[in-house]
Chain A
Amino acid sequence: KQEVTQIPAALSVPEGENLVLNCSFTDSAIYNLQWFRQDPGKGLTSLLLIQSSQREQTSGRLNASLDKSSGRSTLYIAASQPGDSATYLCAVMTRNTDKLIFGTGTRLQVFP
């Protein structure tokens, strides 16, 4: 059974710092891994999707990497801003299933 873990559960950093959020999963037979952002009381916004054959994806100040063999992904946020404050969720789609399995998220606060 696929399990997804995110560390740390919460993170508070000053504006301008580069930071790394971690995601690990137990079953490496995946189709893809998605990173989402969720603001309080809102739905999920897709940030990046990495297919199982890929090693990383980049969008603006965000870079996500995938090491399928070790069951790990990282989300790197460069030059953090207060507007980046949100919960970041990692989710995987395991092969032969059609659903996403989510971690519990990392709650990020960036203060001015």
Chain B
Amino acid sequence: AQTVTQSQPEMSVQEAETVTLSCTYDTSESNYYLFWYKQPPSRQMILVIRQEAYKQQNATENRFSVNFQKAAKSFSLKISDSQLGDTAMYFCAFMKLYNNNDMRFGAGTRLTVKP
């Protein structure tokens, strides 16, 4: 079974600074996808970034980037130039490539951006 672990229940960062959220996962699969989702107080789940396991290049979306270490099964999210609107719960998720789309989530990290 796949498991996703986020070891930081809460984090805070000053506005305009950089913060990194950690995620590790356990799987025997070789092809899979990893995601970071953001859940603001509105509770809607918003996709932040996606990484395909067979791609070595780390995914980047504007101020968001990942450090994907396949051998170490690590998938951290870096947020640069943090903004107040980045305050939210962040969930790391794993999805097998060729199977039902059973997406497994970590427990989340609550990020607070301070002015």
Asked if chains A and B come from one complex, the reply is no
Q: Which residues of A contact B (CB under 8 A)?
A: none
Q: Which residues of B contact A (CB under 8 A)?
A: none
